[in-house]
Amino acid sequence: MSLKRVVVTGASGFIGRALVAELEAQGVEVERFSGDLFETESLGKRLRSFEPPDAFFHLAWVATPGKYLESEDNVRHVEATLEIVRWAREVKLPKLVMTGSCIEYAFDQPGPVREDARTQARSLYARSKLIVLEVLERSDLPFTWARIFYPYGPGEHPERLFPKLRSTLARGETFRMNSDGSHVRDFVHVEDVARALVACARPDAPRIVNIGSGEGVTLREIALSIAREVGGEVTFGDAALTEPPSIVADVSRLRALGWERLNRR
C-alpha cells in the first residue's frame, strides 16, 4: 500500500520536522496533529473528528535532555498514547508507527543489539515506553515500534552532544567530557531516521525495528573530529562505568525494508 495521507504527532520536533519533510518530498499529504495531547477527553474527540489516514506516526513524547528520563510527563504520555491506540483499533487504522528508543534494551550481551534482545526499564522513560509496547503487542493492531538509537543533525536541541560540542568550541571554550570517551555509540542522521520511519509504515514491516546506522563510533572520535573541524580543545575524564560500553544497532530488519544509510558525518 502506498501512502497518500498520514497524520504525524510531534511534527514540530527534531525528528518530526525531518519526517514531515521526507513524506512531503515523496508526495504524501501530511496532517500535523496539534493540540494538547494530555487532555485525553479532547484528544479522543479530535481523533474521531477526521477520516482515518493510511498511517499514523506518533512521535510526540517528552525529550528534553537532562530531564526526560525521569520526567513525570512520561506517565502522561502513556495515557495519551493509549487513547491513540484505542482510537486506532476502533477505526481499524491500516498502520500505526510509534517511536521507541534504544534505552529500552538491557545491553547485557556483546555485539550489535537485535530487536529480540532483552529489555530493561532503567528509567521512567524506558518503563513508560515498554508499557505502551506491551499493550500494542497484545492487540491485533497493525503497528511498528521504531527503536531509534542516537539521532543527530539539523534542528537538534542545543544541549545534545553534537550542537553542545560545536557551540562550546566555537566560543573558544574547552569542552570537558566526564568520561574517557571510550564508549561506543550508534549515531544516525535525522534524515536517515526519517526515511527509516517511512519504511516502517510498510504493511510488511515487523512489529519492532531498530533505527540506527549499524555502525559504532567512540565518543572520543566524535569529539576530536568536531574539535578538528571547529577548532578548540576537548578534555576527557574517567570512564563512566555505569553506562554500557557499547550501544550499536543491528539494522538487518531495517535494511530488509529497503533502507540504506545515506548520510555520514
Residue 50 has pLDDT above 90, yes or no: no
| Cβ pair 184, 216 in contact under 8 A | yes
Residue 253 has pLDDT above 90, yes or no: yes
R_g over Cα of the chain = 19
User: Each residue of 144-182: pLDDT tens digit?
Assistant: 999 999 999 999 999 999 999 999 999 999 999 988 999
What pLDDT is attached to residue 238?
Answer: 79
What the block records as the C-alpha cell of 25 is: 518530498
Give me the mean pLDDT over the 3-14 stretch: 96
Say which amino acid occupies 259: W
CA distance 53 to 47: 11
What pLDDT is attached to residue 160?
Answer: 93
Give me the mean pLDDT over the 63-75 stretch: 95
What pLDDT is attached to residue 240?
Answer: 61
| Cβ pair 141, 52 in contact under 8 A | no
Q: Using pLDDT thresholds of 50, 70 and 90, give the confidence band for residue 241.
A: low
User: Each residue of 108-129: pLDDT tens digit?
Assistant: 888 999 999 999 999 999 999 9
Minimal CA–CA distance to 117: which of 186, 196, 208, 184? Answer: 208
CA distance 20 to 28: 9
Residue 195 has pLDDT above 80, yes or no: yes
Model confidence, pTM: 0.94
| Cα-based distances in Å from 36 to 40, 42, 44, 61 | 8, 8, 11, 12
Q: Which CATH architecture has domain 5-150+189-212?
A: 3-Layer(aba) Sandwich (3.40)
CA distance 37 to 9: 9
Residue 265 has pLDDT above 80, yes or no: no
What are residue 116's phi and psi, to 5 degrees? -95, 10
CA distance 178 to 100: 27
User: Each residue of 21-44: pLDDT tens digit?
Assistant: 999 999 999 999 987 898 878 898
What pLDDT is attached to residue 1?
Answer: 60
In the chain, % helix, strand, coil (3-state, to 5) comes to 35, 20, 45
CA distance 54 to 167: 41
Q: pLDDT > 90: what percent of the chain?
A: 87
What pLDDT is attached to residue 39?
Answer: 87
Q: pLDDT > 70: what percent of the chain?
A: 98
Give me the mean pLDDT over the 57-70 stretch: 95
Element (H, E) at 8: strand 5-9
Residues in the chain, total: 265
Q: Is 89 left (phi over 0), alpha (psi -120 to 50) or beta?
A: alpha
- Quote the mean pLDDT of the chain: 94
| Cβ pair 113, 247 in contact under 8 A | yes
